[in-house]
Amino acid sequence: MRMRTLTLAAASGAALLAAGVLPASASGATPKSAQEGTVSAADLLSKVTSCSQISNSKYRTDDETSATIPVCGKNGAVFWKADMDIDCDGQRTTNCNENADPWYQDDTAFHQSNGQPLKADSLPYIVVPSTSSIWKYTSYGIKGGGVVAVIYNNKVEYAVVGDTGPTNIIGEASYATAKALGIDPDPATGGADSGVTYILFKNSTVSPIESHSAAVSLGDQLAKQFLQNN
C-alpha cells in the first residue's frame, strides 16, 4: 500500500521538470485505450452524479489533505470519486520493486489462486481502505476479488479488489490499472490528482482473481445490471 504525501509528490515533480523529463501523461504520449466491455463511461457516470453517503465520515486522498471523500451507496454497488495513487505491491517485477517504489511491499491483502501475491504491473486491481470506524467494506458486500469499474477521462477499466490500505486514505489502484487508463503508473511520481471514479459491485467475485478477462466479462454484466437498477 502506497503512502504518498503531497510534499514528496511535488518535490518529485519539480525534479522531473528540472531534468527536462515529464511523465508519459504530461508529455503528450498517446495512452492505451481502456474502454472495456459494452457499457460506456458516460452511462456509468450518469448514475453516480449524487451521493448517498454510507461511510460514517469521510476519507483523505493523501496524508496532507483534508477529509473530503465519502463512500456512497447505490443499488448493487458502492462508489467514490477520488484521486489515484499507484500501488506497486505484490510480486517483484521489473516495474514494481524496492528500487522503483519507495513504499514497496512484497505482499497484497488478497492472493492469486496459487497463493502468491498479486502482480501490480500486470493485473488491474484497486485498494480499499482497511476496516475502521469510518467504514467497514465487508459490511457492504465488498470483498477480495470483487469486480470494480474504474473510470477516468471517459474510459472504463475493469479491475478487482486486490489490496487494503490505510484506514483514513482512499483513492489507489495498481500500476496496471493506471497504465490502462492513460495515467502515469510510476509509483513514485505518477498517479492522478483527481477525476477518478471507482464503482465497486457488491457480492461479486472474479475467479480466479488473477484473470483480467474474467473481470471484464463479469464487470460488463454487472455494469449493465447497475444501469438497469439505478
Integer angstrom CA distances of residue 122 from 125, 162, 212: 9, 12, 9
Q: Which three cell numbers stand for residue 205?
A: 467475485
What pLDDT sits at residue 35? Answer: 76
Domains and CATH numbers, the chain: 6-229 (2.40.40.10)
Residue-wise pLDDT tens digits, 39-95: 999 999 999 999 999 999 999 999 999 999 999 999 999 999 999 999 999 999 999
Average pLDDT for 191-220? 98
Is 90 exceeded by the pLDDT of residue 30?
Answer: no
Of the ranges 1-10, 31-40, 156-165, the best mean pLDDT one? 156-165
> What 3-state DSSP class applies to 140?
helix
Q: What is the dihedral of CA 57, 194, 180, 225, to 10 degrees?
A: 50
What pLDDT sits at residue 19? Answer: 33
What pLDDT sits at residue 131? Answer: 97
Strand duo 125-129 + 155-165: pairing: parallel
Is 90 exceeded by the pLDDT of residue 26?
Answer: no
Q: How confident is the model at residue 34 (pLDDT cuts 50, 70, 90)?
A: low
Where is pLDDT greater, at 45 or 18? 45
> What is the share, in percent, of the chain residues with pLDDT greater than 70?
85
Strands, E, within the chain: which ranges?
A: 72-74, 77-87, 125-129, 147-152, 155-165, 172-174, 192-201
Q: Hunting for cell 448514475 — which residue is that?
A: 47
> What is the share, in percent, of the chain residues with pLDDT greater than 90?
84
Residue-wise pLDDT tens digits, 129-167: 999 999 999 999 999 999 999 999 999 999 999 999 999
Cut 0.85: pTM above it: yes
What pLDDT sits at residue 67? Answer: 98
